[in-house]
Amino acid sequence: MSADGVLHVPDNPIIPFIEGDGTGVDIWPAAKLVLDAAATKYHKTIEWKEVLAGQKAFDETGDWLPEQTIADFREYLIGIKGPLTTPIGGGFRSLNVALRQILDLYVCLRPVRWFQGVPSPVKRPEDVDMVIFRENTEDVYAGLEVQAGTPDAEKLRAFVKEAFGWDVREMSGLGLKPISEFGSKRLIRAAINYALSHDRESVTLVHKGNIQKFTEGAFMKWGYQLVKEEFDDVAVGWDDCDGKPGSKLLVKDSIADITLQQVLTRPREFDVIATMNLNGDYLSDALAAQVGGIGIAPGANINYVSGHGIFEATHGTAPKYAGLDKVNPGSVLLSGVLMFEHLGWSDAAEDIVNALEATIADKIVTYDFARLMDGATEVKCSEFASAIVDRL
């Protein structure tokens, strides 16, 4: 990363990877096969460097998230990971959340689009083409929560009564939901920059500001403020143009509950979406369901200022399928495609997407799609990857 914020990528970068627990042993080699083949077409070679996290790390080092792993991600900027087991009583709420917080990966990027031939529960899945920017470091995920009946909860209950006159029922768990101006603006800035550089028409700020005025409502207010402060020449807020932005990028907002309806009934009205952590969590899974489910939904966690990015499968470890060479490698593979795009390797990225679509169009699919398609040939995880490579 240079001082001007541009990522300079050699033709043979070293990229750390976490294989992942459970089905990680199946999906990672499958994804790697396709990523390597696509890179080779463009005379690029990735030197993969395994770094440890999760069960494998614990078994080999006694540590769920070794310091060396963090150091490697810091040094090499970019990395990719399979799913990780959440350690029970291991000192971490979640390894994924820990990685995001330690590296301050403030954007969770979730593009949601349909690939030709993928079975979908909706009539026109081709209308779904959205990119979610979910804030990754704040909101109820910040971990400020106390358990009902504990001395901490009683202390907090007494404090809010004394300081604010708030009556909280006895035996209540309590949590804090921090939403800051800094956190909101940097997330929305990233979403607007993405929309501008990818020729998108709008950014929708999704919030529940009608009820949570000073957290979610403030997120929306800061978003519109940012448009005026930093993007006045290229973007415009809905109220300032009556919804008619001309050649500028339109920034609008939508209440979270109606958004969940409208992404289903009127998906074409949504393009880039910027939202807080919890809304983003709900929205990305709901949307993924419309275009084929979590077996194929990619994700990335990015800090656009430092250049750090970890690209990851969005599903879990699916332990019942571990080692069976059965599950869909699409999620981690398409996360690799996002990584290639981030590296500026857009030709190789596009080739993978085309080859994946061609494979599905030929009805060569893993079990999750096969059970929803007529006349499909069900193949193993590794065979699916080979079929994609054949079509590259």
Residues lying near ligand NAP in the complex (CB under 6 A) are found at 23, 27, 83-86, 96, 294-295, 312, 315-318, 327-328, 331, 368
Q: How far is the CB of 366 from ligand NAP (least distance, A)?
A: 6
* Sequence-distant (≥ 6) Cβ neighbours of residue 216 within 8 angstroms: 179, 207, 208, 209, 256, 276, 279
> What count of other Cβ atoms lies within 10 Å of the Cβ of residue 354?
14
Q: How far is the CB of 351 from ligand NAP (least distance, A)?
A: 22
Do 174 and 156 meet the contact criterion of CB atoms below 8 Å apart?
Answer: yes
From 32, 44, 141, 321, active-site residue:
141
Q: Please give the structure tokens belonging to residue 31.
A: 């994804």
> Closest CB to ligand NAP among 294 and 349?
294
Rounded to whole angstroms, what are the CA distances from 236 to 223, 227, 247? 11, 6, 10
The answer to whether 106 is a known catalytic residue is no
Q: Please give the structure tokens belonging to residue 56.
A: 């494998």
Output the residue with the shortest Cβ distance to ligand NAP: 316
The answer to whether 208 is a known catalytic residue is yes
The answer to whether 253 is a known catalytic residue is no
Q: How far is the CB of 372 from ligand NAP (least distance, A)?
A: 11
Rounded to whole angstroms, what are the CA distances from 86 to 80, 83, 145, 280? 18, 9, 19, 20
* Sequence-distant (≥ 6) Cβ neighbours of residue 104 within 8 angstroms: 137, 303, 306, 308
> Closest CB to ligand NAP among 248 and 315?
315
> Closest CB to ligand NAP among 22 and 209?
22
> Closest CB to ligand NAP among 188 and 334?
334
* Sequence-distant (≥ 6) Cβ neighbours of residue 244 within 8 angstroms: none
Q: How far is the CB of 194 from ligand NAP (least distance, A)?
A: 22
Q: How far is the CB of 299 from ligand NAP (least distance, A)?
A: 8
Round to whole Å and give the CA distance between 326 and 310: 25
List of E strands, the chain: 14-18, 47-50, 78-81, 107-113, 129-135, 145-146, 174-175, 202-207, 235-237, 249-255, 272-275, 298-302, 309-313, 364-365, 377-378
Tokens 């990685």 found at: 99
- Distance, first Cα to last Cα, the chain: 30
> Closest CB to ligand NAP among 96 and 204?
96
The answer to whether 141 is a known catalytic residue is yes
Q: How far is the CB of 14 from ligand NAP (least distance, A)?
A: 23
Closest C-alpha among 223, 217, 221 to residue 192: 223
> Closest CB to ligand NAP among 34 and 84?
84
From 26, 72, 253, 281, active-site residue:
281
* Catalytic site positions: 141, 208, 257, 281
